[in-house]
Structure 1
Amino acid sequence: MLRYFAWPFLFTAIGLVLCFWLGWFYSGTLGGALAFLLTGAILAVLEISLSFDNAVVNAHKLKTMRPEWQRRFLTWGILIAVFGMRIVFPLVIVVIAAKIGPVSAVVLAASDPDAYAAIISDAHLPIAAFGGSFLMMVALTYFVDDGKEVDWIRALECKLRACASIRGLEIAFVLAIAVGFTLVLPGPKGAQFLFAAVCGLLTFLVVEFASHFLDNESKSTTGAATGGFGAFMYLEVLDASFSFDGVIGAFALTQNLFLIAIGLGIGAFYVRAMTIMLVEKQTLAELRYLEHGAFYAILSLSIIMYVQVLVHIPEVITGLIGAAFIGLSLWSSLRHNKLERAQGVI
């Protein structure tokens, strides 16, 4: 266990020290430093609770990838996840929304965090629509699949698998939901939501096409049906979609960009460590319903991201719903294994 979490533990120690120093820098008091330290720890826990299903889905895709691309995802990917989505992404939002340069955005984040947070908050609607559409497609593509052999909630999943013969059903479903929300939202917000939702849907389709095309090209040259660059890009976009909710939710706890980056970065290291452990220990093969729980959690997250454009849903509720699906699927898997052992199957 220590082998998997050595780097996360080290980064946790460094990150918490940085949180304490940041609090001292901004407040000049021990109380302020301790408040920053506590907030950083809470952000790390928030990221882990929201992203465990991300680790399971990563492992699901990662096990099909060639070893060199697995290593690249777990090394380059962590840099993209921590620095790209936790630092660059919020800055890009401010650059676009406020029409200022990158340097000015960094200065704004450091000197006026309240104004910075307000700009991020105003961008929540298109971010939620884009991320919600992408994640909804991820979940539906898993369930609406005639090649899927194992069912957890059979009454529902058998019907979804039977619908796989209807081409484009998932796309039509996501578009229908998006149009429904568009009709509820007032004027310009509705148009903005629909545009972002369609962009999220198109992004999923482009990434899926590129993933299959690139990996089929690799198969034709290597003769092995293993994932490479296409699967890598798919996972990076998936990671980004998962990060949207965590980054936006973090501003409810603090408006300090640097504190958010450190806290969520700590959590991102644990998600990568869990991904490695799930792949190397072949946990997904031993716990047959764990993937199902993760994809139900993704589906619930996508719905929550849509609903959040109408009403605020606390991040703790989002995390608890995801944890409930994961926990129930884990319990069902262990119960299934126990019954098979009792029957002498395993």
Structure 2
Amino acid sequence: MVLRIFGLSIVVTIFSLIIAFLYGGPTALFLTLILGILEVSLSFDNAVINATVLRRMSEFWQKIFLTVGILIAVFGMRLVFPLAIVWLASGLNPIDALDLALNPPPGDAAYFADGSPSYETIITDAHPQIAAFGGMFLLMLFLGFIFEEKEITWLSWIERPLEKIGKLDQLEVVIAALLLIITAEFIAPDDERSTVLFAGLLGMVTYMVVNGLGELFNTDEGEDEDEADDERAKNDPRVDEAAAVADTELRRRSGPTDLAKATGKAGFFLFLYLEVLDASFSFDGVIGAFAITADPIIIALGLGLIGAMFVRSLTVYLVRKGTLSEYVYLEHGAHWAIGALAVILLYSIGTHVPELVTGLVGIVLIGAAFASSVIRRRNEPEGAKDHIEI
């Protein structure tokens, strides 16, 4: 199964490295490999979150995400997105923006002789609004999870109290808005305050709209299916009430059935949700790539083809193997990593944060969650208890 899931990613990696070598020699090959490793290390929490959403989707929408979604991730976020930023910020048309990217000023200069900014400079200058949008989207995702009442908790000493105060209506919106105001007032440069506020609010609204629509249609379709099941049970004299109760309990414990998985409009909005989520995770990787190289071809090969493909393969592996069901704290660790990434993105609006720090924070939190899951499985092989205290 491992080879079948990761086989395509390995082939794509070899192909990308060959293209990189033909494009720019050993240097381009090395930079492409580094960017691929960077993307995977920064996006492991992305894969875990993707898997938690993907397993709620029908097989059709899973295939759409793993085909159409990968094209959007590779070419949309890692190639077109940076060019679009340059296009909008400089007023250049897409062809001229690509030409600007492929022909940087000599040396490490940030500007050309005529005073016009380089491709890398334009991207870097756009970081505050990019970080504000992505940071607020991810922050809303983290707060929504941490305030939600859950059967299983990881850091129970903090998660249980947060669940209680999370019963206050729209608390996550209030907290996110306060953090956005603090970021704009005390962290963002003076000339970027209004831009950061606007981009952050847009990130919050995007999360609420996409997530809300997904939940709305998922609930509607789930209710329709439940009503249909009830009607079939009512008209079928062979249905035994005790057996029906037992079956309901079994389905509750074993996760969503095929009928319960999102289809139709619910699946579509979950697909949109995953794409926006992937974009938010990609921001730090795209911006961080410019600390290594500004060449869009190398960035597309490293971040897009190698990095994005391995993240997708890892997502599929987590879903197919049922890893999230076996290691129940991974989802918690991934959400805490998201919260940390959101804070880092907001902080980075005013102060540069090394990509190594961003990657290590996520790896440490998910690693700790995995270790806790292993301890739980050893001590409670039947999953008798809901959680262990940490």
Match of 2:141 in 1: 138
Structure 1 residue 312 and structure 2 residue 352: aligned?
A: yes
Matches of 2:98 and 2:77, distance apart in 1: 15
Contact in 1 for aligned 2:189/2:350 (Cα 8 Å): no
- Structure 2 counterpart of 1:60, from 12, 33, 52: 52
Alpha-carbon shift at residue 221 of structure 1 (Å): 6.1
Matches of 1:186 and 1:111, distance apart in 2: 30
Contact in 2 for aligned 1:136/1:174 (Cα 8 Å): yes
Alpha-carbon shift at residue 60 of structure 1 (Å): 0.4
The change in CA–CA distance for 1:255 and 1:163 in structure 2 (over 3 A counts) is: same
Alignment of 1:58-137 (within 5 A): 58-112=50-104, 115-137=118-140
Structure 1 residue 335 and structure 2 residue 370: aligned?
A: no
- SS, match of residue 350 in structure 2: coil
Structure 1 residue 326 and structure 2 residue 328: aligned?
A: no
AA at the equivalent of 2:274: L
Alpha-carbon shift at residue 140 of structure 1 (Å): 0.9
Match of 2:35 in 1: 43
Match of 1:26 in 2: none
Contact in 2 for aligned 1:41/1:263 (Cα 8 Å): yes
Aligned length, in residue pairs: 335
The change in CA–CA distance for 1:342 and 1:158 in structure 2 (over 3 A counts) is: closer
Matches of 2:161 and 2:224, distance apart in 1: 38
Match of 2:20 in 1: 19
Matches of 1:112 and 1:221, distance apart in 2: 57
Matches of 1:194 and 1:340, distance apart in 2: 47
Alpha-carbon shift at residue 21 of structure 1 (Å): 1.4
AA at the equivalent of 1:140: L
Alpha-carbon shift at residue 275 of structure 1 (Å): 0.5
Alpha-carbon shift at residue 225 of structure 1 (Å): 3.7
Alpha-carbon shift at residue 183 of structure 1 (Å): 1.3
Match of 2:3 in 1: 2
Match of 1:237 in 2: 276
Match of 1:154 in 2: 156
Q: CA RMSD in A?
A: 1.7
TM-score (norm 1): 0.93
Alpha-carbon shift at residue 144 of structure 1 (Å): 0.6
- Structure 2 counterpart of 1:202, from 205, 213, 224: 205
Structure 1 residue 251 and structure 2 residue 277: aligned?
A: no
Alignment of 1:141-220 (within 5 A): 141-146=144-149, 148-184=150-186, 185-219=188-222
Matches of 1:324 and 1:208, distance apart in 2: 28
Alpha-carbon shift at residue 11 of structure 1 (Å): 0.5
Alpha-carbon shift at residue 220 of structure 1 (Å): 5.9
Alignment of 1:281-300 (within 5 A): 281-300=321-340
* Percent pairwise identity: 43
Q: Deviations over 1:112-168 (max 9, x none)?
A: 27611111001000000000000001111111112x111111111001111221011
Alpha-carbon shift at residue 344 of structure 1 (Å): 9.2
Match of 1:27 in 2: none
Contact in 1 for aligned 2:37/2:307 (Cα 8 Å): yes
Matches of 1:271 and 1:280, distance apart in 2: 14
TM-score (norm 2): 0.83
Alpha-carbon shift at residue 219 of structure 1 (Å): 4.0
Alpha-carbon shift at residue 215 of structure 1 (Å): 3.0
Matches of 2:336 and 2:21, distance apart in 1: 37
Greater length-normalized contact order (CA 8 Å, ≥ 6 residues apart): 2
Q: Deviations over 1:43-66 (max 9, x none)?
A: 000000000100000110111111
Alpha-carbon shift at residue 256 of structure 1 (Å): 0.4
Where does structure 2 lack aligned partners over 5 or more consecutive residues? 111-117, 227-258, 386-390
Q: Deviations over 1:229-250 (max 9, x none)?
A: 1111111110010011100100
Alpha-carbon shift at residue 284 of structure 1 (Å): 0.3
Contact in 2 for aligned 1:215/1:229 (Cα 8 Å): no
